[in-house]
A and B are shown apart, each in its own frame.
Chain A
Amino acid sequence: MRVAKLFRKTMFGIFLLFGLIALSTSALCVYTVDRQLSVEYEANSRAIAQTIANSSMDIILNRDLSTLQSLIDQFKEIQGIKYVYIANEDGEILAHTFVPGVPKEILRGGPMKLETVQRRIPGFGEFIEVSSPILDGIAGSVHVGMDKGLIALKIQTAIGQQVYLISMIFIVSVVGSFLLVNLAAKPLVRLGGYATQLAAPAAPATITAEDVQALLERNDEVGQLARLVRHLSARDAARTAE
């Protein structure tokens, strides 16, 4: 009973500690991964948009738009790129990768805006959209949408891995602390049994003679206490005899 009580207190302490670790590291992880990935994705999208913009000049000016469509279709296969569209200088979308069609949010937003925008399109997702002008904007612009859902997925994966690791350490800690608490409590239980035996010699023994011998021979605090209890009991017995 005493062991369980001691163990419960230890467990509570471990829970508290691990909870704090899990919460603080997860928060830090969300912040760091979100910030770094967002910056990285934006940089990648910008590079892709510029690449398409540079490749598109000749196609827009000299060739059929199906070639332009072929070009942007290839970029859509890159992980994280959810959509690409190219607008002419009047804002008319000349090629895009949207299915089932260009979302109203994009048509309404005006395709010629060249700053980075965060888009939330119902039924489609959340995106970081970066743009690049073609021929300094006089031939139109390229717009690349990176899926923010992918960032969220990566954050979830990172947190999941972290929680998994902390859980494993937690389980090992619980088992370890149980063994350690048990190891520390066992001699105390024997000491209690020895003290009871000395106080009431007529009662049934809860400790064997070998355990008593082992207890008295210990070099630690439990051994010292056992020897003190034996001394006090002997002195008490001597006084009673006098």
Chain B
Amino acid sequence: MRIALLGLAPALVLSSALLGAQEGVTDQQIVVGMSAPFKGASRSLGIELYRGSMAYLSEVNRTGGVHGRRVVLKAYDDGYQPDQAIKNTLKLMLEDRVFLLFDYVGTPTVTRVLPLLKKYDKLHFRLFFPFTGAQPQREPPYDRLAVNLRASYRQETAGLVDNFVAIGRSRIAVFYQADAYGRSGWVGVREALASHDLKIVGEATYARGTKYTESLDRQVAMLQEVRPDAIISVGAYAACAAFVRDARKAGLAVPIANVSFVGSESMLELLVAASKADGHDYTVNLVNSQVVPSYENPNVPVVKEYLTLMDKYQPAPPAGLADADYKPLRHSFVSLEGFLNAKLLVEVLRRMGAHPERAKIAETVATIDGFELGMGRPISFAAQRNQGSDAIYYTTVEDGRFVPIRDWKVWTK
């Protein structure tokens, strides 16, 4: 199958050139391709990102689309597995012939897909707004193949480290997923600590796909042994929630911080349920960094728009891809990010005009300079800058909800 698909590539280049038509674009629609986890331990990330994007795209399509074309999101489930992400990408590029790739989820998946984009460089495919803050798609040789909206993990972890060190919590340990994503966060923490002449005091890992029902006592014991002042988690919600639960049960009460990829609401949902069941509040001393503003703040223009359109369309999970038992979240940081991704994508497509061409994507993206997406902070790209936003927001849990951190000093050591 793969050999057959690979054989198609030169023919596709030739046929596109001869016909002058752009793959993925017809008079009626522009098709963009997505590969993300819609099943398994990280399904919430893929589903909510998709739902957020669909809320905005539904409104755009209802009001006439982009230059008269509907924007269609073609999605496949990769279960957060790199090999499946590669297969899905080949299918999207060579079989479905989408216009571009959009809303991919995860570092281990995206880092394996990037070489594929390079291999088919002549087809000019670009990956828009992957849901990962890892470095590979921000640095040569892959930086020109991807367009990022969110801030990087380095920026998120640097902010967390700086804030913890500022309040006297300098013994920082890391709990992370044993793969490229976890390593990316680990590097961020290591570099941020190095700037303070500090080192990571301890670390523990978990295997990708770890379920909430599994015990993480061994990881907790390893970190407890080094007596950390704070722990930075770089993982997905199921494992991170299990870690918080087991850490609190073991008496490890230090602040535990998670980065934006975790899926904050899904993690909180698990911890709130466990708190009720065990009679022990597992939601205290939690810190989550976010790369989008709080959806609890309708004073931010794009948040108001997001809340309105999410409630208006209540997008369903992708048909036939998600588990039937999944209960969509009304609002979440992940779906807000999907919403912002879709909004910026539509802006790029609009700027490409009535005859969009893949080959002109990069120059079009570079025209976005000081664009107001509604976050209160302008978005800018340039030839040497493929990340639109540097914004980081820090939140904690109060009354079962994520709220902005007003004062880090409450955790002063």
Contact = CB atoms under 8 A, between A and B. Distances in A.
B187 A99 contact: no
A101 B111 contact: no
B358 interface: no
Nearest to B199: A92
Interface residues of A, number: 16
B184 A100 contact: no
A226 to B, nearest CB: 80
Interface of A: 63-70, 73, 95, 97-102
A101 B205 CA distance: 5
Q: Which of A64, A66, A67, A101 has the most CB of B within 10 A?
A: A66
Contacts of B179: 69-70, 73
B108 interface: yes
Contacts of A99: 178, 205-207
Given A73-B108, A101-B222, A66 B134 contact: yes
Interface string B123-146: 000000000001110010000000
Contact of A64 (B82, B134, B204): B134
B254 interface: no
- Closest 8 pairs between A and B when the two form their complex, measured CB to CB: A64-B135, A69-B183, A66-B184, A66-B180, A70-B180, A100-B218, A100-B219, A101-B204
Interface in B194-228: 203-207, 216, 218-219, 222
B136 to A, nearest CB: 5
A85 to B, nearest CB: 11
Given A69-B182, A69-B183, 18 more contacts: A63-B135, A63-B139, A65-B184, A65-B186, A65-B187, A66-B107, A66-B135, A68-B183, A69-B179, A70-B108, A70-B111, A70-B112, A70-B179, A95-B183, A99-B178, A100-B205, A101-B203, A101-B204
B219 A67 contact: no
Nearest to B178: A99
B181 interface: yes
A64 B136 contact: yes
A100 B107 contact: no
A63 B135 CA distance: 8
Interface string B151-192: 000000000000000000000000000111111101100000
11 contacts: A64-B139, A65-B184, A65-B187, A66-B183, A69-B182, A70-B111, A70-B112, A73-B179, A100-B206, A101-B203, A101-B204
A84 B203 CA distance: 17
Given A73-B180, A100-B218, A67 B206 contact: no
A82 to B, nearest CB: 13
Given A101-B203, A101-B205, A67 B187 contact: no
For chain B, the bracket of interface size reads: 20 to 34
Per DSSP, are chain B's interface residues mostly helix, strand or loop, or mixed?
helix
Contacts of A67: 111, 136, 180
Contacts of A65: 183-184, 186-187
B180 A69 contact: yes
Contacts of B181: 66
A98 B182 CA distance: 12
A108 B136 CA distance: 32
A64 B206 contact: no
Contacts of A63: 135-136, 139
A51 to B, nearest CB: 17
A98 B179 CA distance: 10
A131 to B, nearest CB: 20
Contacts of A64: 134-136, 139, 184, 187
A97 B182 CA distance: 11
A174 B178 CA distance: 57
B38 to A, nearest CB: 22
B232 to A, nearest CB: 15
A101 B179 CA distance: 12
Contacts of B178: 97-99
Given A69-B179, A70-B112, A73-B108, A100 B222 contact: yes
B219 A101 contact: yes
Contacts of B82: 70
Contacts of A101: 203-205, 219, 222
Contacts of A100: 204-206, 216, 218-219, 222
A225 to B, nearest CB: 79
A63 B187 CA distance: 12
Interface string B59-84: 00000000000000000000000100
Interface string B214-255: 001011001000000000000000000000000000000000
B87 to A, nearest CB: 15
B229 to A, nearest CB: 19
Contacts of A97: 178
